[in-house]
Amino acid sequence: MFSPIFSINNNILRNIATLEGAKAIIDEAPLIPAYEKQFQQDAIVRTVHYGTRIEGNDLTFQEVAKLIEGQDITGAQRSIQEVINYRNVVTYLEEIWSMYQKNLPLPEEKTVPNFDSHGPRPFFYSATLVKKIHDLTTTKIIPDSELGKYRHQQVVLKNTRTGEIAHRPPPAIEVPYLMTDLLDWLNDPQTRDIHPSIRSAITQYILVAIHPFIEGNGRVSRAFAMIPLYVESYDIRRLFSLEEYFDRNAEDYYNTIQSTHQLSSDIFHRDLTKWIDFFTQALSIELTRVKEKVQSLSRDIKFKQKLGGKQVHLSERQIKLVEYMQKFGGLRMPDAKSLLPMISDDTIWRDLKKLIDDKVCEKRGSTKGAYYCLANV
């Protein structure tokens, strides 16, 4: 059975401590950015844009945003299809996560399995999930006969600049067995004792190394590796994009993967410490950014008490309004219109009304001269 090789060094410990501290603050903060299903469309756009751009997609952030909103754009058909496909992958992960939260059987589970009643039931990692993600990732890009199918031929990955072979994945005949070993490891009860960030890192690397499909392996590995984080409530794709960090640090990302490839011809004999260090650092940095955003919105812990102990989920527009109130002590409608120049007056009124209804801010003065400021604590 697969048993990953890695060491817990000081860097990894520091990274995990940082992300745990950030997660605790995010979990307890009274004001947080809205989750994807509510308002934070921007998080989805970042995930899809950077998740495809790192693989060579040349569409701009604005073009990806328009596509996700259902608008038509001019561009290479393959690039457009890649964006549409990865958006569907994000949607699929959300559906799977929703099924798990509702205790519904997942794909390949005919019934909900027995589990320890003192804790949540274990998530079931299956080949069906991996293959479905691949199907969604490569629809209309590769032949239908290859969708969701493990490769049947040997492939090599070459350095685009030198032409040299950068990675030689295992023979196709080994792929099903290697994938079974990985999935068995993920489903092993003892594996759940490993921190979810480390499990996620290992999952992503091993999938990249196995290279189970003819095409789309990078996107599939990053998407599937998010599941261990989702399962343990590190639902990072709802607040930020790990793909954005990888894309902005692409050279370090690829060099770390490549140096790990070179450690041994046997995938399961490679020491994954360096990769885990890089991955947990990426996660800690991104969660720290979210934490700082949350703290800028919720500096007074008494504010949560005023809100009845609940968290208020804010859209990106509402965040801008609240930050303006914090900086200048309040705002008037002309200030809001200047802050959100492309937004209609009616939409701004609705945002302000929601902030008032949620007791985040108060309206003072008459209608024309109304002044909005953060609620007193």
Domain ranges in the chain are: 38-296, 315-374
Q: Would you state the pLDDT for residue 223? A: 94
DSSP label of 236: G
Rounded Cα distance, 54 and 60, in Å: 12
Give φ, ψ of 57 to 5 degrees.
-70, 135
Rounded Cα distance, 343 and 314, in Å: 16
Q: Does domain 38-296 have CATH number 3.30.505.10?
A: no
pLDDT tens-place values along the chain, 377 residues long? 799 999 999 999 999 999 999 888 777 766 555 433 443 566 788 889 999 998 889 999 889 988 988 888 888 999 999 999 999 999 999 889 888 888 888 887 777 666 555 667 889 999 999 999 999 999 999 999 999 999 999 888 766 556 677 788 999 999 999 999 999 999 999 999 999 999 999 999 999 999 999 999 999 999 999 999 988 877 654 666 788 889 989 999 999 999 999 999 999 999 999 999 999 999 999 888 877 776 666 554 455 555 666 667 777 788 889 888 877 888 999 999 999 988 899 999 999 999 998 888 899 887 667 889 888 75
DSSP label of 367: S
Domain 315-374: state its class. Answer: mainly alpha
Q: Would you state the pLDDT for residue 31? A: 55
Q: Would you state the pLDDT for residue 32? A: 56
Terminal-residue alpha carbon distance, the chain: 57
- Radius of gyration, alpha carbons of the chain: 23
Q: What is the pLDDT of residues 22-52, one digit of tens each?
A: 888 777 766 555 433 443 566 788 889 999 9
pTM for this prediction:
0.78
Rounded Cα distance, 357 and 367, in Å: 17
Helices (H) and strands (E) in the chain, counts: 16, 6
Cα dist. 228→254, 257, 276 in Å?
22, 20, 14
